[in-house]
Structure 1
């Protein structure tokens, strides 16, 4: 990083982007708490769609997660104050005939439901649209989600380990990693205004069945990153089912995130969901142990304290792109060895 580059704060930069805070199925009759970039909020359903507001009642600070959805909006469980989607208090039961103070309102946040997720943007004007994943909306694929992943690591670190091909043969031994073929062949990374893309062929190891040795499954991995923290990763193996993984790391703070992780597949593939959840949780647990041990936990915006090689090109180009958001100009990277 060049010393003259102004470093904007983590919260300032990423508050202007959309981040998921809940799966759609989690937000039904009851409000659901969220934490995003240090902000405590609550998402809930109204008659006209999802809403996101501050978590605590403007009256006496009661937790609105203990409230309930009513026709007018969200009703606090402490004194029954009721708020509309715009955050304005609509009813104070203890004095129904008195004017409602203008200050009796909640902070509100932009909220949108798409891809089975509830997305929130803390800024008044989003810096970029949501990722474009049309296959999840046209009815051609089925989807299965993992439980939310809460890791003690930054969102950027989470993304980098997903994009890191060189670790597969080492970290994922016993799942799909191939320790006999750790070499990463040359590959290209495409930078575009919204993120980065790359396609890499990895000799995954399909586990053997009934005592038979495992077989090499040459799998084409197509990465498509939407800045700042979303990736679509398409798997096209030779021995297993083609499927696509979607991972969106939602920053709780600069050093902690929760990841919304799910997959799409052909709807006629039986038992895919059960197989995916079991295998992917095992794979991600291997990643978690490594990622939570990295230091610093915060996602670096420079390259001064690490040594990189050409096999690291994809995560490095991603870091360059994220650094550009905070610096206004991508940092220079020393030559790869």
Structure 2
């Protein structure tokens, strides 16, 4: 089985919202690697964060027309990682080893994505509805949790926990039964549609009411989940959770929602407040789970049919670790 870093380095992972990347370099972490991002005339450059000269932090450097200039001695690096200027020896040839590792970066859905391998193993998630102008979006502050990226996605997919962990937000503790449902396994991930009797909050003096909400799950491996909520008598809104692995036991999650433009005046504030409360309930639960790393089998756990969606998702992750097709025979 491949190591965690080797298995997931060939995939695109988000490292920042595009809005975070301004005229100054931005330090980020991905899969145990220190990186620095900066804007160029043609897009985003990303390299290792430490200067090849004396190990200085390039994220406190300066972006120039030539590239990223180190704040320690002024060595300047192009977007390909090669040093293009050594101010202390302007007439001397620049040593061939004067370079830092450079990686691929791209922007989509308001995020900066990085791949640590020369060739990505898969494309970015396909969410065209976020680019055709038909929907509005609202982001949450970046979530940084002491838990594996895969654990985060598993909880997004876990309908059985809703009635317990999310009591007081939308969970319905009086109706915890999960009725049978089907899971679609495909080459890029998994999907399912499940109806949950969500408990709508009390309003205008009226008691809470049950709203049979259709939950449509669409997961792109390794760590991107799209979940559409369709209440009985309301517009659909969709959340997007992309967990970026800092290490095998720690992640940052970029989380946002799309919604009908008619809700623009009210939905953003309401969504951010309610979703942060829901995610805090998940964080408290997940950070207490052991191991923090996503298990590579099912031997230490006991499952029921209600757990089928997170189980099939984990099987997909295990297949990636084994180098096997995701939609092939299920790994044991």
TM-score, structure 2 length as denominator?
0.96
Partner residue of 2:43 out of 34, 45, 49: 49
Partner residue of 1:139 out of 117, 133, 137: 133
Where has structure 1 moved over 3 Å in runs of 4 or more?
328-333
C-alpha displacement of 1:312:
0.4
C-alpha offsets along residues 208-267 of structure 1, whole Å, 9 cap, x if unaligned?
Answer: 113321011111111000000001111111244421100001111111111010111122
TM-score, structure 1 length as denominator?
0.95
Partner residue of 2:292 out of 297, 308, 325: 297
Look up the match of 1:32: 26
Look up the match of 2:310: 315
**5+ residue gaps, structure 1:** 1-6
Structural RMSD (CA):
1.2
Q: Distance in 1 between matches of 2:323 and 2:47?
A: 30
Look up the match of 1:158: 152
Q: Distance in 2 between matches of 1:183 and 1:66?
A: 53
Distance 1:119 1:185, change over 3 A: same
Structure 1 residue 17 corresponds to structure 2 residue 11: yes
Equivalent position SS for 2:50: coil
C-alpha displacement of 1:89:
1.0
Q: Distance in 1 between matches of 2:112 and 2:20?
A: 9
Q: Which has the larger displacement, 234-243 or 13-22?
A: 234-243
Look up the match of 2:172: 178
Q: Which has the larger displacement, 220-229 or 79-88?
A: 79-88
Look up the match of 2:267: 272
- The answer to whether the 8 A contact 1:151-1:257 is kept is yes
C-alpha displacement of 1:85:
0.6
- The answer to whether the 8 A contact 1:21-1:34 is kept is yes
Equivalent position SS for 2:293: coil
Q: Distance in 2 between matches of 1:332 and 1:135?
A: 33
Q: Distance in 2 between matches of 1:180 and 1:44?
A: 51
Q: Distance in 2 between matches of 1:49 and 1:302?
A: 40
